[in-house]
Chain A
Amino acid sequence: MSGHSTYNPQNPVLKWFEARLPIVGLIHSSFVAYPTPRNLNYWWTFGAILSVMLGVQIITGVVLAMHYTPHVDLAFNSVEHIMRDVNYGWLLRYMHANGASMFFIAVYIHMFRGLYYGSYKAPREVLWMLGVVIFLLMMATGFMGYVLPWGQMSLWGAIVITNLFSAIPIVGEYVTTWLWGGFSVDNPTLNRFFSLHYLLPFMIAGVVGLHIWALHVTGQNNPTGVEVKSTSDTVAFTPYATLKDGFAVVCFFIFFAWFIFYTPNYLGHADNYIRANPLQTPAHIVPEWYFLPFYAILRAIPSKLGGVVAMFSAIIVLFFLPWLDTAKVRSAKYRPLYRYFFWIFVVVCILLGYIGASPPEGLYITVGRLLTAYYFLHFLVILPVLGLVEKPLPLPASITEAVLGPNHGGVSVVPSSSAAAPERRA
């Protein structure tokens, strides 16, 4: 969304239009001529996958809303009506419900990609923080969407999550009453959740716009973590990135379709096909899989306020990550110690998810506490210290050198010695 457009229309109508609203030029400079690092791997296709999934959720959601009724007496039946009566309703609903899971799979991969390659470091701090904002909005959207079918998990998930706010000292009770519009999760709650569930994806789309804007100001990071130095380090977005992203989206859609057509309820919970009953809690409440690690952190702390604070901190800490990581080298490829800690952290997050799905008793509690402690230790102790003690491996002089070997270090444009020297010292 920045840089000089090389778009130069010859057609008189396009010329006339471009002089009045240069939007075609903007698209051209952002998605056609835009230079992308030549060494991007498939982990870089998840941004495109995420954009496509947002589109999928919005389109399927808008059509579901044509058949859905946000009322406690009618919501559950209207979802069954979508499943049984509406033409292709089953398909639209399964696309939307599984689409939410796919969206989160993609966002987690996208975020871990950023962690591995140090994409959050200067000058991409704002880009990263906008990503965390998108993540928060997605969590709110997914949570409110899950309430809409008004099954047992919908209701009890909503009760447990909204009650988190009752932990706030003094005003907690007023806040929950205000959120509910009553004294419990009831019709006013469902009604407003539907309204907000409709709104938030469009807010996400807005923040995605800012995210891409920030990306195009700083340029993309890449697997070496070395900044682009010459035109030989990049290739044009179209056709290179467009086609690679397109191919990745098609592969992702195959994975997505497998869930829709072969195991559409695998990622959901059977109890959500039982109509909501405010007098009976299901024996085992679990949130959607994508919230499980955070749910485990909530339960690890044996105090109400403490648990809530820990859970929110687990996300808030991500905002500070660019400053907590003191290492100058971005990519884990050149950080021999961080590479191990990264993978330990991935395993810890997956185990936290497992603990979040297990009953809160016995060994699960102890293990959950240890993992929670490690989660925070990673950000607050390991990352700051690692940057000071770790000795990074020598960096390539340029992306071109990393791809083609040492004799090609960007010779075509800048003398390799002058451009390469500062990076080698890092």
Chain B
Amino acid sequence: MATPSLVEPTRRDFLYLATGAVAVVGAGAVAWPFINQMNPDASTLALASTEVDIAPIAEGQSITVKWRGRPVFVRHRTAKEIEEGKAVPLSDLVDRAARNPNIDGGDTADATDQNRAAAGKEQWLIMIGTCTHLGCVPLGQAGDYDGWFCPCHGSHYDTAGRIRKGPAPENLHIPPYAFTNDTTIRIG
């Protein structure tokens, strides 16, 4: 091995390399359980979905429910808010993706007001209340766009929960949910 240019690779060289390769694979195989144990465990993954009765939420009110350890906003929007949400041209948006897994093309569909609100029930806006910057819970009906304002580092969201100003890169995400009847939603 000392003067490789003069010596043909030998059977011994091959054995060294092969042994080394097996050792590397073995070390990786042993390391994996130690790394993977930190991922969500079975009990965390099994977290049930949450049912919410939305009948008591009057127009202009919102509630916050907990789902997967996170806050979910359920807002009954006013006519003015819906109008403001619709009036925004797509070209004004920082993030043009709808971030709504409940519609076709979830992350690729345009972030129109219609694609953000509940299908056919545009007064309902249901979103994960976690700022897409660093995870604070934004305050409702605040900020420069009448929607949500995150006090942590100053992100402003509009009345459809779309990021308009500040460091957050994405619109507030929408959780998977469905109306089980006119006044009940199931999140998750």
Residues of A bordering B, CB below 8 Å: 156, 159-164, 166, 177-186, 188, 192, 278-281, 283-285, 298-299, 301-305, 307, 359-361, 365
CB distance from B54 to the nearest CB of A (A): 18
In the complex, the answer to whether A178 meets B39 with C-beta atoms within 8 Å is yes
- Interface pairs A-B: 8 shortest CB-CB: A184-B69, A163-B134, A163-B135, A360-B154, A281-B136, A160-B134, A281-B137, A183-B68
A162 contact set on B, CB distance < 8 A: 135
Of B79-87, B106-114, B165-173, the segment with at least 4 beta carbons within 8 Å of chain A is: B165-173
In the complex, the answer to whether B69 meets A188 with C-beta atoms within 8 Å is no
Whether B153 sits at the interface, judged by CB under 8 Å, is: yes
CB distance from B151 to the nearest CB of A (A): 6
Cβ < 8 Å to A, chain B residues 121-135: 129-130, 132-135
Known contacts A302-B166, A361-B154; decide if A278 and B71 are in contact (CB<8 Å).
yes
Cα–Cα, bound, A19→B41 (Å):
54
CB distance from A363 to the nearest CB of B (A): 13
In the complex, the answer to whether B136 meets A182 with C-beta atoms within 8 Å is no
Whether B152 sits at the interface, judged by CB under 8 Å, is: yes
B152 contact set on A, CB distance < 8 A: 160, 281, 285, 360
Bits for B58-97, please: 1 = Cβ < 8 Å to A, else 0: 0000001010111100000000000000000000000000
Cα–Cα, bound, A182→B40 (Å):
5
In the complex, the answer to whether B136 meets A183 with C-beta atoms within 8 Å is no
CB distance from B158 to the nearest CB of A (A): 18
In the complex, the answer to whether A183 meets B151 with C-beta atoms within 8 Å is no
Given contacts A184-B69, A304-B167, 4 further A-B contacts (CB under 8 A): A177-B40, A180-B40, A192-B38, A281-B136
Known contacts A160-B135, A285-B136; decide if A179 and B38 are in contact (CB<8 Å).
yes
A-B contact pairs, 18 of them (CB 8 A): A159-B134, A160-B136, A162-B135, A163-B135, A166-B134, A178-B39, A182-B68, A183-B40, A183-B70, A184-B69, A278-B69, A279-B66, A279-B129, A281-B137, A285-B136, A303-B167, A304-B134, A360-B154
CB distance from A189 to the nearest CB of B (A): 10
Interface size on B, residues (CB 8 A): 29
Cα–Cα, bound, A156→B41 (Å):
23
Cα–Cα, bound, A182→B153 (Å):
24
Most buried by B among A188, A281, A298, A359: A281
| Smallest CB gap from B35: residue in A | A178
Residues of B bordering A, CB below 8 Å: 35, 38-41, 44, 64, 66, 68-71, 129-130, 132-137, 150-154, 166-169
In the complex, the answer to whether A159 meets B38 with C-beta atoms within 8 Å is no
In the complex, the answer to whether A299 meets B153 with C-beta atoms within 8 Å is yes
B135 contact set on A, CB distance < 8 A: 159-160, 162-163, 166
In the complex, the answer to whether A183 meets B169 with C-beta atoms within 8 Å is no
Known contacts A181-B44, A183-B69; decide if A302 and B167 are in contact (CB<8 Å).
yes
Cα–Cα, bound, A281→B129 (Å):
11
In the complex, the answer to whether A299 meets B167 with C-beta atoms within 8 Å is yes
B132 contact set on A, CB distance < 8 A: 304
A283 contact set on B, CB distance < 8 A: 151
CB distance from A162 to the nearest CB of B (A): 8
CB distance from B21 to the nearest CB of A (A): 26
| A303: contacting residue among B39, B130, B169, CB under 8 A | B169
A302 contact set on B, CB distance < 8 A: 166-167
CB distance from B173 to the nearest CB of A (A): 11
| A178: contacting residue among B38, B134, B137, CB under 8 A | B38
| B66: contacting residue among A156, A188, A278, A359, CB under 8 A | A278
CB distance from A312 to the nearest CB of B (A): 14
CB distance from A284 to the nearest CB of B (A): 7
| Smallest CB gap from A161: residue in B | B134
A156 contact set on B, CB distance < 8 A: 136
| Smallest CB gap from A282: residue in B | B151
A163 contact set on B, CB distance < 8 A: 133-135
In the complex, the answer to whether B134 meets A284 with C-beta atoms within 8 Å is no
B35 contact set on A, CB distance < 8 A: 178
Cα–Cα, bound, A163→B130 (Å):
11
Cα–Cα, bound, A359→B154 (Å):
8
B68 contact set on A, CB distance < 8 A: 182-184
| Smallest CB gap from A365: residue in B | B154
In the complex, the answer to whether A181 meets B134 with C-beta atoms within 8 Å is no
B154 contact set on A, CB distance < 8 A: 359-361, 365
B71 contact set on A, CB distance < 8 A: 278-279
Cα–Cα, bound, A298→B152 (Å):
12
Cα–Cα, bound, A164→B38 (Å):
18
A185 contact set on B, CB distance < 8 A: 69
| Smallest CB gap from B39: residue in A | A178
